[in-house]
Structure 1
Amino acid sequence: MRRLFLHINVSIDGYITDPAGDIDWRFADEEFQTHMDGVLESIDGMVFGRTSFEQLAAYWPTAGEEVSSTQRRRMHELPKYVMSRTLRDTEWHNSHPLGDDPATALKDLKRRDGRGLALFAGGQAATAAIRLGVLDELRLLINPALLGGGTPLFNGTYPQQDLRLTDTRRFTSGALLNTYDINGRH
């Protein structure tokens, strides 16, 4: 059974965007780019919320030399699943709206053979995945920044979850990648 993990940048005070909605405060050095290449090579699909999907779909098909060739290739070829009840059609290659019942669709995807699925972006999607009980792991890339406001990582109600820290990686930038298993799912 494949695992669904959240991989997301977050400030120390728990925000994924600053008050203006920007993400330029997060670090993105060569060490991080190499890490992201490895993550993309290790998965069989990506999950996004609708807003994040639309923003990424506007960028990635024409991404240039500012990203690695691995990232350009994998962002094109990997299946992209969108947690949205309103999005029906997508133009980004290999994209699939999950429809009216994302919990069942994600559980079906997880039952397939293969490598993990990454939920990369969207606070609402992350909160929904926890609420729906489909998220197995959190990979929080904690950036050394205090934003004082913005989009919170988790917003809304969801059941209490017990987390177990399974790994920590320190980047030269001072960012920490903390990996947590949810409710002992391993």
Structure 2
Amino acid sequence: MLTPSEVSTNLKIQPSTLRKYSALLEQEGIQFKRTHKNARLYTDSEYIAIKGIIATVHSGKKSLEEAVIEASRSLKKNNSIAPRERDSDDIATAMLNEVKQLKIQLQQQEERQKERDIMFVEVLEKMQQKIDRMEAQQKQLLAPVPEEFELDAPESSSQQPESEPETVTPKKDTRGLWARIWNK
């Protein structure tokens, strides 16, 4: 940023002439950055525009008003392509706000992902419990059938006194596994 005295010295014009050109540019919509004492500060683009105004007026090809209009259009065009320095704080603030919003969104996504993970684990645990129950039922179905006890007792045992329990000897099943399962 250049001060008014630097610009007027470099361009070899009076400070009053610089103020006049600057005021004309402001009328065309160009806004200069100012110091805390309200003095204008000039960017390189603004310095070049004022230098162009002086050259155009001295050449006699255009009037001061036409040169100012042309310079202001050029400045506005440059400002739309590249942001001015005074806008950098606004841009930085906007970027920071956007980053904050993105962080919040990321945090929300992470929380949703954790909830999904918890739900997924719960579903997997329920499925595992069902599988375990099914396997237990399958083992029960495939378990060997207990040997049948011989129900036909000899007649002499019926004549025994009732105080003595009958001894039943189990009969061994010699059928194969599938025959026992299907009871054939």
The TM-score range, normalised by the shorter chain, is under 0.3
Q: Give 1 or 2: higher strand fraction.
A: 1
Higher relative contact order (CA 8 A, sep 6+): 1
Bigger fraction of residues in helix = 2
Rg bigger for which structure? Answer: 2
TM-score (norm 1): 0.20
